[in-house]
A and B are shown apart, each in its own frame.
Chain A
Amino acid sequence: MELGQGLALMGAVIGAGLAVLGVGIGIGNIGRGATEGISRQPEASGKIQTAMIIAAALIEGVGLFGLVLSIIVILVKVK
Chain B
Amino acid sequence: MFKFLVAFAFSLLLFVTTAGAQTGIPAAQQPQTEQGINKQVPSADKIEAAGAESEEHSTETHESSGEFDLNHVINHHLGDVRLWDVNIAGYNFPITKRVVMMWIASLLLLLILIPAARLISRNAIKRPGRFTGIVEVFVNFVRNDVGHSNMGHHSRSYEPFLLTLFFFILFCNLIGLIPSVGEIVITAGDFFGFHFNVEPGDVPLPAKLWSGITPTGDLGVTATLAIYSFIFIQVSGFVYQGVSYIKNIVPAGIPWAIWPIMWPIELLGQVSKPFALAIRLLANMTAGHLLILVFLGFIFQFQLYAIIPVSISVTIAIYMLELFVAFLQAYIFVFLTALFIAGAQHRH
User: Taking beta carbons and an 8 Å cutoff, which residues of A are in contact with B?
Assistant: 50, 53-54, 57-58, 60-61, 64-65, 67-68, 71, 75
Contacts and interface: CB of A to CB of B under 8 A. Distances in A.
A52 to B, nearest CB: 12
Interface of B: 71, 74, 145, 276, 279-280, 282-284, 286-287, 290, 328-329, 332, 335
B283 A67 contact: yes
19 contacts: A50-B145, A53-B328, A54-B335, A57-B332, A58-B332, A60-B284, A61-B276, A61-B283, A61-B284, A64-B279, A64-B280, A64-B284, A64-B287, A65-B283, A68-B282, A68-B283, A68-B286, A71-B286, A75-B74
Which of B282, B286, B332 counts the most A-chain CB atoms under 10 A from its CB?
Answer: B332
Given A64-B280, A68-B279, A75-B74, A54 B290 contact: no
Contact of A68 (B145, B287, B328, B329): B287
A76 to B, nearest CB: 10
B280 A61 contact: yes
Given A54-B332, A68-B286, 19 more contacts: A50-B145, A53-B328, A60-B284, A61-B276, A61-B279, A61-B280, A61-B283, A61-B284, A61-B332, A64-B283, A64-B287, A65-B279, A67-B283, A68-B279, A68-B282, A68-B283, A71-B286, A75-B71, A75-B74
A76 B328 CA distance: 29
Contacts, number: 35
Contacts of B335: 54
A54 B71 CA distance: 33
Contact of B329 (A57, A67, A71): A57
B77 to A, nearest CB: 13
Contacts of B279: 61, 64-65, 68
Contacts of B287: 64, 67-68
A67 B289 CA distance: 13
B50 to A, nearest CB: 29
A54 B286 CA distance: 20
Nearest to A74: B71
Contacts of A64: 279-280, 283-284, 287
A57 B332 CA distance: 8
A60 B280 CA distance: 9
A59 to B, nearest CB: 11
Nearest to B333: A57
